[in-house]
A and B are shown apart, each in its own frame.
Chain A
Amino acid sequence: MAENVKKLNAEKTVLYSSAQTPPAAPLFFSALQHMLLILSLGMAMPVSIARAAGLDVNLSSSLLAAALFTMGLTGILQTLPSRFVGSGFQSLSVADSAALSACILAAEIGGVPLVLGMTIFSGVLRFVLGSFTFRLRKFFPAEVTGTMIFILGVNLVPTALKNFLGAPVGGVYNPMHLVVAIATLLFMLACSLFIKPLKPYTALLGIAFGFVISAVTGIFNFASLGQMGDQALVALPIYADLSYSFDLRVLIPFVVVTVAGIVDNIGDFSACQSADDPHFKKPNWRSIESGIRGNALGTAVSGLLGGPIQSTATTNIGIAGASGITSRKVAYLASAMLMIASVFPWLTGTLSMIPTPVLGAVLLYSGCYIMAGGFSALMECVLDDRRIFTIFLSVFFAISTLIPNLYSFLPDSVSTILVSPMVMGVCVLLLTTLLSRIGMKKVFSFISGVSPLDIVALNEEIENTCRQRGTERALMRRMQIAIDSLCEGIYELAPGAQIRYVISYDAQQLKIHMESERAVFKAEALAADDALDRTLDVSLMIIRNMFDEVRVKNRNGVLTIDMSHDL
Chain B
Amino acid sequence: MTIEKKLNGTELTIALTGRMDTMTAPQLEAELKDCLNGVTSLRFDFSALDYLSSAGLRVLLAVQKRMNKQGSMTLLGVNETITEIFEVTGFSDILTIE
Contact = CB atoms under 8 A, between A and B. Distances in A.
Given A488-B21, A488-B55, 6 more contacts: A452-B22, A455-B53, A481-B88, A485-B53, A485-B89, A545-B89
Given A452-B23, A488-B22, A492-B22, A539 B84 contact: no
B54 A485 contact: yes
User: Most A CB atoms within 10 A — which of B54, B58, B91?
Assistant: B54
Contact of A489 (B54, B62, B84, B89): B54
A9 interface: no
A213 B48 CA distance: 67
A484 interface: yes
Interface of B: 21-23, 53-55, 57-58, 61-62, 84-85, 88-91
Contacts of A491: 22
Contact of B61 (A485, A492, A532, A546): A532
A535 B58 contact: yes
Secondary structure at the B interface, as helix, strand, loop or mixed, is helix
Interface of A: 452, 455, 477-478, 481, 484-485, 488-489, 491-492, 532-535, 537-539, 542, 545-546
Contact of A535 (B54, B88, B90): B54
Given A478-B88, A481-B85, A538 B23 contact: no
Contacts, number: 50
Given A481-B89, A545-B89, A545-B90, A538 B57 contact: yes
A535 B62 contact: no
A535 B58 CA distance: 6
A201 B7 CA distance: 55
A539 B23 CA distance: 16
Contact of A538 (B21, B61, B85, B88): B61
A542 B55 contact: no
Contact of A539 (B21, B54, B85): B54
A532 B58 CA distance: 7
Given A452-B21, A452-B23, A488-B21, A477 B88 contact: yes
A542 B90 contact: yes
B65 to A, nearest CB: 8
Closest 5 CB pairs of A and B: A545-B90, A485-B54, A538-B58, A542-B89, A539-B54
Contact of B54 (A452, A477, A488, A533): A488
B89 A546 contact: yes
Contacts of B23: 452
A535 B56 CA distance: 9
